[in-house]
Structure 1
Amino acid sequence: MKNITLYNADRTDHLIWPSDFQEVSASSTALSVFTDFRQHEPAIIDADTKALDAEQIMRRSHQRLKLVLNGQGEFVGILSLEDLSDHELIKKVANGHNRNELTVTDMMQRRDRLKVLDYHDLEVMTVAEVLDLLKQYGDEHCLVVEREQHEIRGIISAREIARLLNIPLSISRPPKFAEVYLAAIRR
């Protein structure tokens, strides 16, 4: 047996992360900021989870987005912390829902309303182009699909890109038609 010594952890020792060693710039390939589900398990949540529980789960796990699966394990939408904000909960309650009975299904962004990016387009894009695209659509996250195989391949996060580039993030969702209409009739 080899003579190996264990040392005490030093106060100056700190955790390192893979991103500490990534050299990402605006001109880097977009694949450098892509979370590939072939290499990383997607963060998922059950569609029937109570909305208030989902918020706690996401905050404890430091996840801002989860993919929503129904009882059959099929992808039905995405849920972000923004979807669970007090503002969104109050809107649901104002429409007659009981706050304590709201589920992930009530709060999520439904699959049929999501915009996705094709993996082959991602292969030829730069980080700056992806960030511009996300700003254009007002989305902090974008699913990436392989359309020929009908596979959800992964996800891109504007927040992660901003963190890697060490730039401020300012993405706002475009107003919905109903919001524009209400603002116009109030004038």
Structure 2
Amino acid sequence: MNAALNTPYRNIPTEELLGSPRIAYPDTQASLTLDDPATEVMVDFRASRPSVISGDLPLHDARALMRTTEESIKLVVNRAGEFVGIISLKDFLGKKALAKAHAMSVRLDAVQVKDIMQRTSQLPSIHTRHLRNVKVGDIVETFNQAQSEHFLIFENDSEHPDRSCLRGLISASDVALRLNISLESMARAKSFSDIVHAVNGTFD
């Protein structure tokens, strides 16, 4: 008891919770404007642990896993745990897997995640230093120019100075959702002004 009295810490008052309170959840769908900071649309892996999947996993198992976890995208890692690409539910749809199996001359159940994933080299990347003082509108314009669905956000690896570290991800679908515009409108936009019109609800 005496040891407790001599501690530099203090007891915090507790209360009885009455009724059936609502549970607070992150406001991930908060509306956004083109002038908001670009970091508002970045999934920061230092704040939110990324969902990963092995590149060696057969497509059937990978598809079942993604459906179970209700995730539309996963980071793909190799046996060393290194990031090698991303895969989304969209990659499982259509004829992509069948075409790959045919090209590899194997059965469909022999195709693995790494065979149809979007490789790191195929994805545009942005260094964190370029996100400083950057607005959502700048990201939209960059998406418009790059014709990509995702941007990788990287920084210098503090543990390995000669290497990069994947810090986060920005997805066009997330940006479109937060701006309250459809992906179809974003895909059909030919210029940044089209995106502005879409945000304002005047883009047909």
TM-score range relative to shorter protein: 0.7 to 0.9
Q: Which runs of 4+ in 1 moved over 3 A?
A: 13-17
Q: How many correspondences in the alignment?
A: 168
1:8 CA drift (Å): 4.7
Are residue 156 (structure 1) and residue 170 (structure 2) matched? yes
**Aligned-residue CA RMSD in angstroms?**
2.4
Matched with 2:16 is 4
| Match for residue 56 of structure 1 among 61, 64, 73 | 64
1:58 CA drift (Å): 1.6
| Match for residue 128 of structure 2 among 119, 132, 142 | 119
Q: Superposition pairs for residues 161-172 of structure 1, below 5 Å?
A: 161-170=175-184
1:15 CA drift (Å): 6.9
* TM-score, normalisation: structure 1: 0.78
Are residue 136 (structure 1) and residue 145 (structure 2) matched? yes
In structure 1, list runs of 5 or more residues that go unmatched.
173-187
In structure 2, list runs of 5 or more residues that go unmatched.
1-12, 188-204
Q: Which has the larger radius of gyration?
A: 2
What amino acid is the match of 2:172?
A
Distance in 1 between residues matched to 2:147 and 2:72, nearest whole Å: 16
Matched with 1:89 is 97
* TM-score, normalisation: structure 2: 0.72
Matched with 2:195 is none
| Match for residue 155 of structure 2 among 135, 143, 146 | 146
SS across alignment from 1:167: coil
Distance in 1 between residues matched to 2:151 and 2:15, nearest whole Å: 51
* Identical counterparts, % of pairs: 30
